[in-house]
Amino acid sequence: MPYQQRLVTLAGYAVLLITALIFVFLVQQSWPFVREHGSLVFFTGDRWLPVSLPPVFQIGGFLVSSGIITGVAIIIGVPFGVLAAISLAELLPPGVSVIFRSIFEVTAGIPSVVFGFLGLKIVAPAVAGLFNLPTGLTGFSAGLVLSIMILPTLVSLSEEALRAVPREYAEASYALGANRWQTIWRVIVPSARGGIGAAVFLAMGRAIGETMTVLMIAGGRLAMPTSIFDPMRPITALIASEVNNAARNSIQYHALFTAGLILFMITFAVNAIAASVIVGKKAR
């Protein structure tokens, strides 16, 4: 094997090794908490009193918050993203398509703190006014902003999936007398289903992991949310806001690592589903 080839193979293994090491590190740092305080109520309760005596650590409220915010982002973002991808891939003239695509790519490069700031200044007051809420810093506001942030992932991956549909399918459809819209909606989109599904799951992984924006606009209420219009704190925001505070090897420090481990496993599972959708499609 030429050395270049070996080097490239090695790089592949290194990435795998680094991911595995992160997992091992998380487990190792979580263990002191799990051993002493691990119980079901850690997942179901919603009291989080890290500096009280005795401290209480329960992440149920944060898990539900993460679920709500991600759900809102996906429900609002996916229809927009997929329809935009269809228009980019099939409907718009190629010249216009290129311009739109580069605009979406620029969106991907906007730092999340900027989205957070826009959310704080524009989205939150608008949501409060529109729904007549006591505060605009809610899970819904955070999900709304996230739905824009996941668009680049959704659009570019869905568009790729649509473009990967063999031209023969469309030609066969036209030959049978279908018009352009029927061809797109009944032939091309269903054929790209797997790829679009993978895009949705990858976007979901991105939404679950987003930190800065949700820290700024989700509202930071620690209790279990009862509505999508409640202020809430997702698990990423919890970790970001407290990890600096915790003295190394204190129980709060290990509790935060346990929360991080749970988050890692959730995003890993979501991305694994996305990957299996892609692999499954290839195998077919």
Partner 1 sequence: MKKAIILALALLIATVAVGCRPQKTTLDVTGSDTMVNLGAALAEEFMKTNRNIEIAVSGGGSGAGVAALIDGRTNIAQSSRDLRAEERTKAAARGALHEIVVGWDGLAVAVNPANPVNELTLVQLAQIYRGEIRNWKDLGGNDAPIVILSRDTTSGTFVFFREFVVQERGTKRDAEYHPDTMMMPSTEALFQEISNNVNAIGYIGLGYLRPAVKAIGIKADAASAPVWPTVDTVLNKSYPLARPLFFFVTGELKGALKTYIDFVLSDKGQQVVRSLEFVPIR
Asked if 101 touches partner 1 (CB under 8 A), the answer is no
Between 47 and 281, CB nearer to partner 1 = 47
Q: What are phi and psi of 210, to 5 degrees?
A: -60, 135
For residue 57, how many C-alpha atoms fall within 13 Å in the half-sphere facing its CB? 24
Residues 138-177 that bind partner 1 (CB under 8 A): none
**Closest by alpha carbon to 271, among 194, 203, 192, 196?**
203
- Determine which residue in the list 81, 209, 219, 234 makes contact with partner 1, applying CB under 8 A: 219
Distances (CA, A) of 57 to 36, 50, 220, 222, 242: 12, 7, 16, 11, 12
Between 102 and 245, CB nearer to partner 1 = 245
* 64-72, 179-187, 239-247, 261-269 -> range binding partner 1 (CB under 8 A): 239-247
**Closest by alpha carbon to 218, among 273, 127, 152, 138?**
138
Residues 188-217 that bind partner 1 (CB under 8 A): 215-216
Between 101 and 221, CB nearer to partner 1 = 221
Closest approach, Cβ 37 to partner 1, in A, equals: 17
Closest approach, Cβ 99 to partner 1, in A, equals: 35
Q: Is 135 exposed, middle or buried (0-12, 13-18, 19+ CB in 10 A)?
A: middle
Cβ–Cβ < 8 Å for 234, 215: no
Residues 119-138 that bind partner 1 (CB under 8 A): 120-121, 124-125, 128, 134-137
Closest approach, Cβ 45 to partner 1, in A, equals: 11
CB atoms within 10 A of CB 200: 24
Residues 240-279 that bind partner 1 (CB under 8 A): 240-242, 244-248, 250
Helix/strand/coil (H/E/C) assignment for every residue in 102-127: HHHHHHHHCCHHHHHHHHHHHHHHHH
Q: What's the CA gap between 209 and 190, in Å, rounded?
A: 29
Residues 33-62 that bind partner 1 (CB under 8 A): 46-47, 49-52
Q: What's the CA gap between 253 and 33, in Å, rounded?
A: 9
- Determine which residue in the list 221, 236, 257, 262 makes contact with partner 1, applying CB under 8 A: 221
Asked if 76 touches partner 1 (CB under 8 A), the answer is no
Closest approach, Cβ 185 to partner 1, in A, equals: 43
Return the CA Rg of the chain: 22
Report how far apart the first and last C-alpha atoms of the chain are (Å, whole number).
32
Closest approach, Cβ 174 to partner 1, in A, equals: 53
Closest approach, Cβ 248 to partner 1, in A, equals: 5
Closest approach, Cβ 16 to partner 1, in A, equals: 31
Residues engaged in binding partner 1 (CB under 8 A) = 46-47, 49-52, 120-121, 124-125, 128, 134-137, 215-216, 219-223, 231, 233, 237, 240-242, 244-248, 250
